[in-house]
Copies of this chain bind each other. A is one copy, B any other.
Amino acid sequence: MKRIYMGKTKDVYALEDGNYLLKFKDDVTGEDGKFDPGANTVGLSIEGAGMAGLKLTKYFFEVLKAKDIPTHYIDASIEETSMKVRPASVFGNGLEVICRYRAVGSFLRRYGQYAVEGQPLEAFVEVTLKDDTRQDPPITEDALDMLGILSSKEYKELKELTKRIGNIVKEELAAKEIELYDIKFEFGRGKETGEIILIDEISGGNMRAYKDGRYIEPLELQRLVLGE
């Protein structure tokens, strides 16, 4: 088993059967020791964050599987804090696809002239480039198409898939009286099929979730959702 990539919150290993193993770490994104799901840097290490992230990811990917939504998920080992996934190639050097239900974070920083904090946004989808040195710039359908990252047809498919998955996560959280404000996904093309599939993880580290108007930290989110 060979480590092929060290990420901010996960390491990636190549398996002999052609699949990959994602090993979840306790590092979370943030700045100045404060957790921020929208940040580009590892802000701090929280004991148990990797395990909590994996548990939620396993839970949500299995919900998606039951609904026939294409993802890279094969299975997960909680004991080993790892998840086995199908090979997929990212679009360009990677995109972040955000689904927003309330105006907070970078949306508000950009469009605060036209939106108030917390305003409902009804599964509004935005795409940003994964590019730390350029602060993950937002990008339009036209630019993605022109730069050869994603065709307009694929963009529409990605947008619909994002809304579908975002709405599923939102409903799952709502069942626990938790409200989803926004969530960030990554997608890729499945190696065998070429279809657009959800990759990466679905955890507290990728979303902003609130209960009774209070932001829920990633570890607490796992406990509230999974009741353990």
Contacts and interface: CB of A to CB of B under 8 A. Distances in A.
Interface of A: 92-93, 109-115, 121-122, 124-126, 129, 131, 134, 137-143, 146-149
A146 B121 contact: yes
Contacts of A131: 113
Nearest to A113: B131
A31 B109 CA distance: 23
Contacts of A137: 110-111, 138
B129 A111 contact: yes
Contacts of A109: 134
Contacts of A93: 113-114
5 contacts: A110-B139, A111-B139, A114-B147, A122-B146, A141-B141
Contact of A113 (B124, B125, B134): B134
Contacts of A113: 92-93, 129, 131, 134
A121 B142 CA distance: 11
Contact of A140 (B114, B126, B147, B148): B126
Q: Which of A111, A131, A138, A142 has the most CB of B within 10 A?
A: A111
Nearest to A107: B143
B111 A125 contact: no
Give 8 nearest A-B pairs by CB, closest first: A110-B137, A114-B147, A140-B140, A113-B131, A124-B146, A138-B138, A93-B113, A110-B134
Nearest to A119: B147
Contact of A143 (B126, B139, B143): B126
Given A113-B131, A114-B149, A141 B140 contact: yes
Contacts of A134: 109-113
A190 B91 CA distance: 41
A66 to B, nearest CB: 29
Contacts of A146: 121-122, 124
A89 B84 CA distance: 56
A49 B111 CA distance: 33
Nearest to A124: B146
